[in-house]
Chains A and B, each alone.
Chain A
Amino acid sequence: MALSPTEGFLLSRIDGHTPWSVLREIGGLLPEEADLALETWLETGLVLLDADAPPARETPRAPAAPPAATPQGKRARPSGAVDPTLDLAPELQEEILAFEARLATASYHEVLGVERGAEARQIKRAYFQLSKRFHPDRYFRRNLGDHAARLENIFKNVALAYELLSDPTTRQEIERSMDSGPPTVAPDAGAYRGAEAGRSERIGPDAKGYRTPSRMENLDRLRSRFKMPKKVLAERRFKASQFHQSSRVAAHEKRWLEAAASARLAIAFDPWNRDYKQQFASIQAEVHAARALELLEQADGAGAVSDALKLLEEAIHYRPVDASLHARAARIALDTGDFEKAREYAESACELAPENPEHHVTLARALRRLGNARGAMDALATAARISPQHPEIAAERKLLRRGR
């Protein structure tokens, strides 16, 4: 199978961790193209879906009983087994196994066994109750076997859930992330909701013909298997918001490199958030501006003028609409004798900032050197219209006449 470079990049990002919904956003392909590519690879067996892979965990040695009185009453398949030789009641072992098995998919609320609208007191109560049940110190010095590590893991998750839900700010953040639903719905909600509802009509613009109902259905089926668990999603959103925040702080303190890195991470964790993308773009602009300034300073100090020109051109690449950069490049090109280049930059400077007489004078100078006296006179006339008293206009006119 021949892969385009962008497809190759997309393939390189498939690592067993990054979900479909992220892959389709970061690949450099249009999301629909990414979907198609991924779908094709799946069909050819190039990549495997996680759900198809054999279960990674060991199969339970003994059939475990359903969890007793779990907070949300869901059944879960424990990954270990009850060992009657341990210094821990079998019922408690079952409870531990069941609780740990649920951790992977449970939301923070589910970990604590509280409702969305729970009061702070209820959350604290749940935390204390669970602590008394699962804190490792409750079973200090007992022979716990594998359960020691499980208890610790459970308590860490309980404590984290409590920490996040007991702080009104983080709690609000988490609950808002839950509201925005799974990412498969978020980016182009109309299309997928339609598919879910099994409607047959086409939804939205479909220039490339990817979104036929059957294809939509197929994609949706694949996607639902690829979908991130709610908790993971909320966690990623939460992380993204934290990166976004630290990016803003860094940007505020003009630590651009760090700001850009954090902004990139925010996007990586939550590719559906437009704010993050905007933030990244504005930081990039600032980074380039700073780099351009730096380059200009270097250009001023550089011995070889042609080196300076190269640096300036790089700066212009970063900030293509800055007229003064173009004007400076034009003047340096004049010095190096590259009059064609000088004319080009002078013209763009005039275009970008037509009200600046200097740019027109520079253009006139370049045109004169190129032997285009008529053009030069016109440029000088424009400059004179803007600023009749500009001393360089008279000087340039003199040179023009003498050159003739």
Chain B
Amino acid sequence: MSRVIGIDLGTTNSCVAVVDGGKPVVIPNTGGYKTSPSMFAISQDGKRLVGHLAKRQAITNARHTVYASKRLIGRRFDSPELQKAIELFPYEIVEGPNGDARILLADKAFSCSEISGIILREMKRVAEEYLGEPVSEAVVTVPAYFNDTQRQCTKDAGKIAGLEVLRIINEPTAAALAYGIGSSREEKIAVYDLGGGTFDISILELAEGVVEVLATAGNTFLGGEDFDRRIVEHVLEEFQKQEGIDLRDDLMALQRLKDAAEKAKCDLSSLSVTEINLPFIANDANGARHLNLELTRDTLDSLVGDIVEATMKSVAQCVSDSGLGPDQIDHVVLVGGQTRTPLVQKAVTEFFGKPAHRGVNPDEVVAVGAAVQGSVLVSADRDLLLLDVTPLSLGIATFDGHFAVLIDRNTTVPVRKAHVFTTTRDNQSAVKIRVLQGESERADENHLLGEFVLGDIPPAPKGQPEIEVSFDIDANGIVNVSARDVTTGREQSIAVNTTGTLSDEEIAQIIAENADVELPRDA
């Protein structure tokens, strides 16, 4: 049987790893890089470009280069998050036929699953070249806060890439798996993951080869790009003050500025002051203008202080959810390049009262964990077990518009939970079961997964019939909901099929379309 690869499908960068000879290996691409930009572009001469090739021409081809599409996946076009993204991204985002978001490149509307699929296919190819054998199965990671639609879209992306996604696992969980290989210690670990586009914090426990997720929290719209954006905004303002020119409408200038901001941010991880130098950034009647600005670590800290503070609020929430105090955490693991920022390290060290663990590379640890889980699943030698949890609460709507939770978020799967409900009117003969997912107390503010009706309830005064509603999540994450009239034994049930934004036919069509598109090699 071929090996299962682990893919960290990141907002800004992706990484692939595999367990080879019992040891996890991060696979470099032909260019020698261990991570690849999660970027896709169609060049001016119509070529499809992925990864570093796409990034290299991103400045000159801003409108047709897609980055951070993970921020759009599984979201509705009319959602506020998406509208915010439309404002920020230089490429064109249009509404798809299912109310989803599509990206318009060279007159073709790409779904987000297709873009992710192209990136996954690239990672698959990198792995196949390294291993010298075909790869057909993968474990892919997502942020802990991804809902079922976003997870399904990621699975669809795998399908498009020609990969069977055995498991979707949470990024922080993967980090802990990577960290806990062969461990027999009993430890509590906090994983602070500040990536390009998302922030996650998880508290996990490792003991006797079992990894248990105690709690997770986070924000799918917070990450290193926000740091970059703050720097870009700051520079734009300074430039406008100095030169009286607004660069906001100049796509080319913006992209250059974005790159420069990212570089300055990285510089400030080790230096206390750096320079942003962008010659010939603008032209006006008086000739060419150059951007030359000094940026200190203190300025950066003041620009992003509130973002770091926001992450620490999630951290505090998560630690309290886990029922532990900060001092009971044995190790803090930092994930994501953004955690190299001194302000982040300082905040984390202060909160937990101990410095973060330095044994794992923050850029690669998630992919390693995914590979470990893939190998653990299919190999005969299984001394490690991941007890995964549901990311969001599941329940039903009550007659007064409340959300009655049956399975709390962070509950270990597989799980079965039942609860008895009753009628609210005399001689009520049917109840409607609306299955919801989310964290709001109000039913209508949660995501509706499906609904069904349990009928033929014998006439009885209100409050008398006992309707037992049970939720069942199997090891593959499939949710089954059933309702049973305890008196008559009559039962109704549905399998809640979370769908992505693409239909099966659409996926098949995309696969067919992509079958003969050969991508240029990354070098």
| Contact surface of A with B, Cβ cutoff 8 Å | 15, 17, 124-125, 128-129, 131-132, 135-138, 140-141, 152-153, 155-156, 159-160, 163, 239, 243, 255, 257-258, 260-261, 264-265, 268-269
Contacts and interface: CB of A to CB of B under 8 A. Distances in A.
Nearest to A255: B400
B414 A132 contact: no
B466 A132 contact: no
Contact of B463 (A135, A153, A155, A260): A260
A132 B376 CA distance: 12
Contacts of A268: 466
B475 A132 contact: no
B377 A137 contact: yes
B414 A258 contact: no
Nearest to B458: A12
A152 B377 contact: no
B462 A138 contact: no
Contacts of A269: 420
Contacts of A265: 420, 422, 463, 466
Q: Which of B386, B416, B424 is packed against the most chain A CB atoms within 10 Å?
A: B416
Interface in B448-463: 462-463
Nearest to A128: B210
A350 B487 CA distance: 48
A260 B400 CA distance: 14
19 contacts: A15-B489, A128-B210, A131-B387, A132-B208, A136-B414, A137-B385, A137-B475, A140-B166, A152-B475, A155-B414, A156-B414, A156-B416, A160-B417, A257-B462, A258-B400, A261-B424, A261-B463, A264-B464, A265-B422
Interface in B152-184: 166
Interface in B376-392: 376-378, 382, 385-387
A129 B208 contact: yes
B209 interface: yes
B462 A261 contact: yes
B210 A131 contact: yes
Nearest to B377: A140
B207 A124 contact: yes
B416 to A, nearest CB: 5
Contacts of A156: 414-416
A128 B415 CA distance: 16
Interface string B384-426: 0111000000000010100000000001101111001010100
Contacts of A255: 400
B176 to A, nearest CB: 15
Nearest to A157: B416
Contacts of B131: none
A258 B463 CA distance: 9
Contacts of A124: 207
Contacts of A260: 463
A152 to B, nearest CB: 5
A31 to B, nearest CB: 20
Contacts of B424: 257-258, 261
A49 to B, nearest CB: 18
B375 to A, nearest CB: 11
A261 B414 contact: no
Given A156-B415, A257-B424, A141 B462 contact: no
B430 interface: no
B324 interface: no
B474 interface: yes
A163 B385 contact: no
A243 B420 CA distance: 9
Contacts of B387: 131, 135
Nearest to A148: B475
B377 A261 contact: no
A224 to B, nearest CB: 24
Contacts of A159: 412, 414-415
A34 to B, nearest CB: 18
Contacts of A163: 411-412
Given A15-B487, A140-B377, A255-B400, A132 B207 contact: no
Contacts of A136: 414, 474-475
Contacts of A155: 414
B486 interface: yes
A359 B232 CA distance: 81
A140 B378 CA distance: 7
Contacts of A131: 210, 385, 387
A135 B385 contact: yes
B420 to A, nearest CB: 6
Nearest to B205: A124
Contacts of B475: 135-137, 152
Which of A128, A129, A131, A136 is most buried by chain B, counting CB atoms within 10 A of its CB?
A128
Contacts of B385: 131-132, 135, 137-138
Contacts of B422: 261, 264-265
Nearest to A155: B414
B411 A132 contact: no
B170 to A, nearest CB: 15
A152 B474 contact: yes
Nearest to A136: B475
A255 B398 CA distance: 13
B459 to A, nearest CB: 12
A140 B416 CA distance: 20
A261 B210 CA distance: 42
Interface in B275-289: none
Given A125-B207, A131-B210, A135-B385, 10 more contacts: A17-B486, A132-B208, A137-B377, A140-B377, A141-B377, A156-B415, A258-B400, A261-B422, A261-B424, A265-B420
Contacts of A132: 208-210, 385
Nearest to B463: A261
A269 B422 CA distance: 13
Contacts of A152: 414, 474-475
Nearest to B383: A132
A131 B211 CA distance: 11
B328 to A, nearest CB: 13
Contacts of A140: 166, 377-378
Contacts of A125: 207-208
